[in-house]
Amino acid sequence: MNIQTVTTTAYNDQKPGTSGLRKRVPVFQQPHYLENFVQCILEQAGDIQGKTIVAGGDGRYHNRQAIQTIVKMAAAHGVGRLLVGRDGLLSTPAASCVIRKYGAAGGFVLSASHNPGGPDGDFGIKYNVSNGGPAPESFTNAVFAASKAIASYRIADLPDIDLSREGDHDFGGFRVTVIDPVADYAELMGKLFDFDRIRAAFASGALTVRFDAMHAITGPYALQIIEKTLGATAGSVINAVPLEDFGGGHPDPNLTHAPELAALMYSDAAPVLGAASDGDGDRNMIVGKNCFVTPSDSLAILAANAHLIPGYAKGVAGIARSMPTSQAADRVAKALGIPCFETPTGWKFFGNLLDAGRITLCGEESFGTGSNHVREKDGLWAVLFWLDLLAARKQPVADIVKEHWQRYGRDFYSRHDYEEIDSAIANQLMDDLRAKLPGLVGQSMAGSKVAQADDFAYTDPVDGSTSAGQGIRIIFENGSRVVFRLSGTGTAGATLRIYLERHEPDAARHGEDTQKALADLIQLAEALSEVKQRSGREAPCVIT
Ligand code: VG1
Ligand code: CO
C-alpha cells in the first residue's frame, strides 16, 4: 500500500462544539479541510495500530465522499480493520452499539444531527472513543489545538470502496468490512424489550403507532424493527427512505418540524403512539393522542416505569439529566431512593457516570433519552421503551402522563430559541446577564424569591475534570428556574436558548396551557436579557 504525506495549511475554525465539528457543506469542501481534521483525530486517538475502528453516518450530503477519505486515512495510520455501515450508513446510537460490540478503539460518526442537509446544508463529524461515547472535552480540545498547527496529513493510495457490497474488502494488512447497519442494533433492542409483548399488542390492534423517520437515518431501523420484527401495520413508519437533503425538511423531531405527525396526533385518527427521530437517530419525540410528552417528562416517566421493562427490571442505579432539563427526573430518583446527577449539556458528560455504573438512565430536554445500553442518546430505543410500556400498562399515553403528574406534580417546561442572532450581540447579552447575577439573589420576582443565580460549572464525580461556563441559571426558592445558554451546535451566528420551568403540585391546575403557566417566568427572562430589543426579534424562532 502506497502512503502519501500531503502538505497542508491549518484552518483556525475546527473547534468541536457540543457534539463534534459542524459546518456548512461548502466549508467541508474546502481543500484538505476534512483531511486536516481527520488527521488530528487519528493522531489523538491513542494506539490504533492494527486495531478496529468504526465509521458511518446519517447519509446526508457529503457522507459518501467523506467516508472514502476516512477509509484511506485510516489505512495510512495503520488501522487494522475498519467497520463501515453499508452505503456508509450508521445511526449515531448504532455506531455506539457497534463500537462496543466489536471492541473497537473508536469510531467516526458523520452527521450534523438535526441540522438541515444538502449541498447548502450542514455536515459534521465527530469521534467516539472505545466505550462507544463521544470523546471527552480533553480529547476535543487536543484535536482543536492540533488542527491549528497541522502541516501535513497521511493518506493511502486506495481505490474507492464499493460500500454497497457487504463483507470484507482486503488491501494487504488493511481490511474494510462493510456491515449491515441495522442488524447489531436490532439484536441489542431485542435483549432490552419484551418483543413478544409488543408483538401481541400490535397483533390485537390494542397498540398502534406512527413513526416519522423524517427522511433521515432511522427509516431502515424502524422499518426492520417496528414493522418487520414487531408486526406493526405497513405504513406505521413514514418518510422512511433516508435522503441526502432529508427531503428539504429540518430533521428535528418536534411539533414544528414534524407537522404531518403533529396533525395526526391531534385528530380523531390518532394512533396510540406518535413518535419521530432526528437526522442521525439519537433524538426522539413522543406524542400520545392530544398529548405531547415533554422530553423531560419522558425521562421521568421511563425511570418511574423501568421495573416493567425486562432490560431494566433489576432496577435503576441512578439517573442523570443535563442542567437545563426539568427536575421531573429528580423527583422520581428521590422516590426510588437513587441519586440524580446534573451535568452540562451534551451526551459526553454522561459517559463516565454510565461507565462507572452510577447511572442507568439519562436524558436531555432536547429530545434526548438513553441508558447504559450504549453511550449515545438513542431515539428508537426511547420509542421501543414507550411501546413496551404501553403494551404493559394498556393505557393511553395521556393517562400515563396524568397519573405521573398526580403523583409527582407537573413540571411545566418550555424552551424558547432565538436563532442566528449576531454573535457579538449574543455574547454581550450573556456578559451583561452574568454581571447582573450577584444583584438578583434575595430579590422577589415572578412570584418567588431568587435563591441562587450563577453560571453553571460541573465537576465530574468520576474523574474530577471540570467544565465551567455551562449556562446561566436563576433558581427560585419555589424551585422554578430560568436558564440561558448559547447553543454549541449551530453553524451560523449564535442561538440563544432560554429554558423555563415551574413545578405545580396542584393536580387541579395540571391542565393549564404551558406558555400561560410559565408567563411570569417568560416575561422575566425577556426583561432581564432584553433579548427582543437586542436581537430585533419579536418572538422566539422555535418554542418546544
Ligand atoms: C443541542 C442540545 C443538546 C444536545 C446537542 C446534540 O446542543 O441542546 O442537548 O446534546 O444539541 O444533539 P446545543 O449546544 O445546540 O444546545 V444532536 O441530536 O444535534 O447530536
Ligand atoms: Co442527533
CATH number of the domain residue 121 falls in:
3.40.120.10
Q: Determine the distance separating the centroid of ligand 1 and the alpha carbon of 6, expressed in angstroms.
A: 34
Q: State if residue 343 touches ligand 1 by the CB under 6 angstroms criterion.
A: no
Domain stop point among 364, 383, 408: 408
Q: Quick check: is 113 catalytic?
A: yes
Instruction: Tell me, yes or no, whether 403 and 414 share the same domain.
Output: no
Instruction: Tell me, yes or no, whether 315 and 434 share the same domain.
Output: no
Instruction: Tell me, yes or no, whether 149 and 199 share the same domain.
Output: no
Instruction: Tell me, yes or no, whether 197 and 243 share the same domain.
Output: yes
- pLDDT (tens digit, 9 = 90+) per residue, 44-79? 999 999 999 999 999 999 999 999 999 999 999 999
Which atom of ligand 1 approaches the CA of 495 most closely? 15
d(CA 80, CA 102): 13
Instruction: Tell me, yes or no, whether 400 and 325 share the same domain.
Output: yes
Q: Determine the distance separating the centroid of ligand 2 and the alpha carbon of 282, expressed in angstroms.
A: 5
Instruction: Tell me, yes or no, whether 474 and 367 share the same domain.
Output: no
Catalytic residue among 91, 96, 111, 113: 113
Q: Is 279 left (phi over 0), alpha (psi -120 to 50) or beta?
A: alpha
Instruction: Tell me, yes or no, whether 235 and 339 share the same domain.
Output: yes
Q: Determine the distance separating the centroid of ligand 2 and the alpha carbon of 397, expressed in angstroms.
A: 24
What's the predicted TM-score (pTM) here?
0.93
Q: State if residue 368 touches ligand 1 by the CB under 6 angstroms criterion.
A: yes
Instruction: Tell me, yes or no, whether 365 and 420 share the same domain.
Output: no
Question: What per-residue confidence (pLDDT) applies to 287?
Answer: 98
- Give the closest ligand to the alpha carbon of residue 19: 1
- What is this model's ipTM? 0.97
Instruction: Tell me, yes or no, whether 135 and 55 share the same domain.
Output: yes
Domain stop point among 349, 381, 408: 408
CATH of the domain at 522: 3.30.310.50
Pocket test for ligand 1, best of 125, 489, 495, 499 (most atoms within 8 A of CB): 489
Question: What per-residue confidence (pLDDT) applies to 256?
Answer: 86
d(CA 398, CA 400): 6
Q: Is 214 left (phi over 0), alpha (psi -120 to 50) or beta?
A: left
Q: Determine the distance separating the centroid of ligand 1 and the alpha carbon of 346, expressed in angstroms.
A: 6
Total structural domains within the chain: 3
Residue nearest to atom 13 of ligand 1 (CA): 487
* Domain of residue 438, residue span: 410-543
Instruction: Tell me, yes or no, whether 196 and 175 share the same domain.
Output: no
- pLDDT (tens digit, 9 = 90+) per residue, 466-502? 999 999 999 999 999 999 999 987 777 899 999 999 9
Instruction: Tell me, yes or no, whether 16 and 141 share the same domain.
Output: yes
Instruction: Tell me, yes or no, whether 127 and 203 share the same domain.
Output: no
- Strand (E) or helix (H) holding 192: helix 183-192
Domain stop point among 358, 376, 408: 408
CA dihedral angle for residue 135, residue 141, residue 145, residue 150, rounded to 10 degrees: 10
- pLDDT (tens digit, 9 = 90+) per residue, 192-208? 999 999 999 999 999 99
Q: Which amino acid is at 401?
A: V
Q: State if residue 347 touches ligand 1 by the CB under 6 angstroms criterion.
A: yes
Residue nearest to atom 2 of ligand 1 (CA): 366
Q: What percent of the chain has pLDDT over 90?
A: 93
